[in-house]
Amino acid sequence: MILDDNDWQSRTKILIGEENIKILQNAHILVAGLGGVGSFAAELLARAGIGKLTLVDSDVFNPSNRNRQIAAFISTEAKYKTDVVENRLKDINPNIQIINKKVYLKDDDIPTILQEYPYTYVLDAIDTLSPKVFLIYYAIKFKLPIISSMGSGGKFDPSKIRITDISDSYECRLAYIVRKKLHRLKVYSGCKVVFSTEKVAKEKVLPLDNVPNKKSVVGTISYMPPIFGAFAVSEIIRDILK
């Protein structure tokens, strides 16, 4: 192989080979949620050479996003996350195909979205409980490979991050609640999760009043959500290339 520094994928080709590059180019990943985990994951997928991404998020960037979300800047405040991320990804790979969905995932809409395209993989980075549970439930029902990010908030030590089936997750409050709700739907396994075994101190959680869809907010640090996103992407890429 001759190294071509004008080829933006030259270093990836050295690592995984030309045939695997083609496999990634033909992959289509659904990324649900473009917060600290999802925005970073979407960019890593694009930089790895994934050829098609569906991005789902209804939010705009606000100042509190800047401590952890890769596309959050003063210049992007009040702009839709899907639009900003799409522009970033096309600036990395102009040939990438982006399906931009500015929608809030409601339980009833999830089956339609999951069946709209033959996704290679689903990445769940939603931070609202009910849509998260139903996205996992229907992905499993439709036999779509899925990896879900559990709680990165309140976590400080990246050495405690793990990847496992949701049935084997532990020491994560969000994973516990998601497992309980999935059990009511007769689902006990079949979804990979990124989670942390680090315990969250109560003082790291701020209760909220009169905020739709949120009962509390958890403190975050710049590096933890991106590392969760990186773990998820590593699993997706390695699964696709197995």
Q: Domains in the chain, start-ordered, CATH in brackets?
A: 16-240 (3.40.50.720)
φ, ψ of residue 71 in degrees (nearest 5): -105, 10
pLDDT tens-digit series, residues 119-152: 999 999 999 999 999 999 999 999 999 999 999 9
Residue spans of beta strands (DSSP E) within 166-228: 192-196, 205-207, 216-218
Read off the pLDDT of each residue in 42-53 and give the average, rounded to a whole number: 98
pLDDT score recorded for residue 206: 86
Q: What is the pLDDT of residue 1?
A: 67
CB 236 within 8 A of CB 147: yes
The DSSP call for residue 40 is H
pLDDT of residue 214 exceeding 80: no
Query: How much of the chain is in helix, strand and coil states, percent to nearest 5?
Result: 45, 20, 40
The C-alpha atoms of residue 57 and residue 112 are separated, in whole angstroms, by 16
Range list of H helices, the chain:
10-16, 18-25, 36-48, 81-92, 110-114, 129-141, 173-184, 224-240
Is there a contact between 52 and 96 (Cβ–Cβ < 8 Å)? yes
Gyration radius of the chain over CA positions:
18
Checking 184-189 for CB contacts under 8 A at 24+ apart, the result is 185/133, 185/137, 187/136, 187/137, 187/140, 189/165
**What are the tens digits of pLDDT across the range 155-178?**
999 999 999 999 999 999 999 999
* Beta bridge partners of residue 207, listed in sequence order: 216
Would you state the pLDDT for residue 2? Answer: 74
% of the chain with per-residue pLDDT over 70: 98
Angle 52-53-56 (CA atoms, 0-180°, nearest 5)?
Answer: 160
- Alpha carbon distance 233, 40 (integer Å): 9
pTM: 0.94
